[in-house]
Amino acid sequence: MAKKSKTTKTTAGKHKTFKTDVPLVGIVGLGYVGLPLAREFCIGGARVLGFDINARMVQKVNKGLSPIKHIPHKQMRDMVRSNRFLATTSMAQLSKPDAILICVPTPLTENREPDMFYVEQTCKTIAKYLRKGQLVVLESTTYPGTTRELMLPILERSGLKAGRDFYLAYSPEREDPGNKNFRTSTIPKVVGGYDNASLKKALEIYKYAIKTLVPVDSCEIAEAAKIMENTYRCVNIAMVNELKRLFDRMGIDIWEVIRAASTKPFGFQPFYPGPGLGGHCIPIDPFYLTWKARQYGMPTRFIELAGEINTDMPHYVVQRTMEAMNDRRKSLNGSKVLVLGLAYKKDIDDVRESPSVKLIELLQEKGAKVDYNDPYIPRTHKQREHDLQMKSKPLSAAMLKKYDVVLIATDHSDYDYDWIVQNAQLVVDTRNAASVVKQGKNKVVKA
């Protein structure tokens, strides 16, 4: 077990000159976690070799073009032109980096059980090329025990032993796309090692990218910390989603209730309702814990109930939409609906687990003719369980007037809500975005 340490400050971002003796960091998976991490290592003075199986994306980033909205093309070009960053699809080059950081998806199966395929395959590939002295770190969110129980045996098939020949650690990503108050380098990073030597090596590597490191006693503590963070949010969001439905029946505005409760300077933290949960973490990660809990014969009723409530929110929004249209003597079947926002939260281009996708499918099942607009997502792409095959419709006053209802699913800052409400026949608002409008409030129904 690693010796307990205190939070440590680093000099991330202060390495101004490129040196040949700085570490070469390998990052497997250049998505919403891996690419921002690569950026911080480059800024900190390290070299980065990125690995991804998507050849088109690898070509794109090597040309200095960013596939992610919150990483500007200029930053991507700077990374490439500084000779600190290179992406490749050649997994044979995994023997080159001093450290290999795994940033691959950890989704759920149809039965809400952990799908560890990407982690397992990545570890099997690393094992083929693993050499003495390398550090391997998992960043993907997962259940406590993954590093030691799943990764370790696979990596040791290489013939090398953890703690003797190579180092092993777990350090969960804490990305929050679109959050302007924090970036990867300024979010404190929890690090747990397989042993003391592994922890020390991981801290030495991460100091190039992260300002504040939080060492913990083991991989399991680090794994549990991340899944606890997301479960905490999942449960509290479910509570306000349930209260929204209750207060709606009572004729009380949940948003005003939250605003009033938030004036208490202690003992209360605001969480906000919505049309459902989205993103790669909160809708998924808590069920990793419920699965693990079953191995210990313990039910996790809070988590299961929260999942049920949050999963049902798109159905609630569709029901509210039907009721609002019925009050205006219209049927949802055959009506034209425009969904505003496909991303799972405002001002980003990430559609993973977005409730907007489920909303569109439910509306179509009810017979509605559905279009969407999202300034950051010009067209949909095939997902694991969804394939909408749609393109974003341009907004205009004439176009808005043609729809029987406009459904605000994502409250992007780019939207002019006064103008939208002014030109729409009916607005169903799931984000309280239209609360700022000065005229036409009688057209707005909250859901």
pLDDT, tens digit, 9 for 90 and up, residues 116-154: 999 999 999 999 999 999 999 999 999 999 999 999 999
Give per-residue pLDDT as tens, 40-52: 999 999 999 999 9
pLDDT band at 26 (very low <50, low <70, confident <90, very high): very high
Residues 420 and 322 in one domain: yes
- For residues 270-292, give the mean pLDDT: 89
Find the catalytic residue in 42, 103, 123, 281: 281
Active site residue 281: yes
| Beta carbons of 169 and 151 less than 8 angstroms apart | no
Among 186, 217, 248, the domain-final residue is 217
Question: Are 32 and 350 spatial neighbours (Cβ–Cβ below 8 Å)?
Answer: yes
Residue 12 lies in a domain: yes
Residues 212 and 250 in one domain: no
Q: Give per-residue pLDDT as tens, 198-230.
A: 999 999 999 999 999 999 999 999 999 999 999
Could you tell me if residue 1 is inside a domain? no
Q: Where are the alpha helices (DSSP H) in 250-388?
A: 254-261, 285-295, 301-327, 355-365
Mark which of 158, 189, 217 sits at the end of a domain. Answer: 217
Tell me what pLDDT residue 280 has.
75
Residue-averaged pLDDT of the chain:
93
Structure tokens at 149: 């129980």
pLDDT digits (tens, 9 = 90+) for 299-344: 999 999 999 999 999 999 999 999 999 999 999 999 999 999 999 9
Looking at the structure, tell me whether residues 327 and 382 fall in a common domain: yes
171-201 residue pLDDT tens: 999 988 878 889 999 999 999 999 999 999 9
Last-in-domain residue among 182, 217, 252: 217
Instruction: Look up the CATH number of the domain holding residue 83.
Output: 3.40.50.720
Distance CA 226, CA 286 (A): 10
For residue 180, give the amino acid letter.
K
Could you tell me if 339 and 244 lie in one domain?
A: yes
The DSSP secondary-structure symbol of 377 reads: -
Average pLDDT estimate for 434-447: 94
Q: How many domains does one find in the chain?
A: 2
Query: Using one digit for the tens of pLDDT, what is the confidence trace for 61-95?
Result: 999 999 998 899 999 999 999 999 999 999 999 99
The whole-number pLDDT of residue 18 equals 37
- Given a cut of 80, is residue 9 above it in pLDDT? no
Question: Residue 2 domain-assigned?
Answer: no
User: What's residue 15's pLDDT?
Assistant: 41
Contacts for 321 with CB less than 8 Å, ≥ 6 apart: 332, 337, 363, 405, 407, 428, 445, 447
28 lies in a domain?
yes
Mean pLDDT of 372-379: 96
User: Average pLDDT of 411-436?
Assistant: 96
Q: Is the pTM of this model over 0.85?
A: yes
Residue 226 lies in a domain: no
Q: Determine the pLDDT at residue 12.
A: 53
Q: What pLDDT score does 180 carry? A: 84
Indicate whether 198 and 298 sit together in one domain: no
Residues 181 and 272 in one domain: no
pLDDT of residue 311: 93
Structural domain harbouring 77: 8-217
What confidence category does residue 385 fall into, taking pLDDT thresholds of 50, 70 and 90? Answer: confident
pLDDT confidence bin for 8, thresholds 50/70/90:
low
Say what the pLDDT of residue 2 is.
43
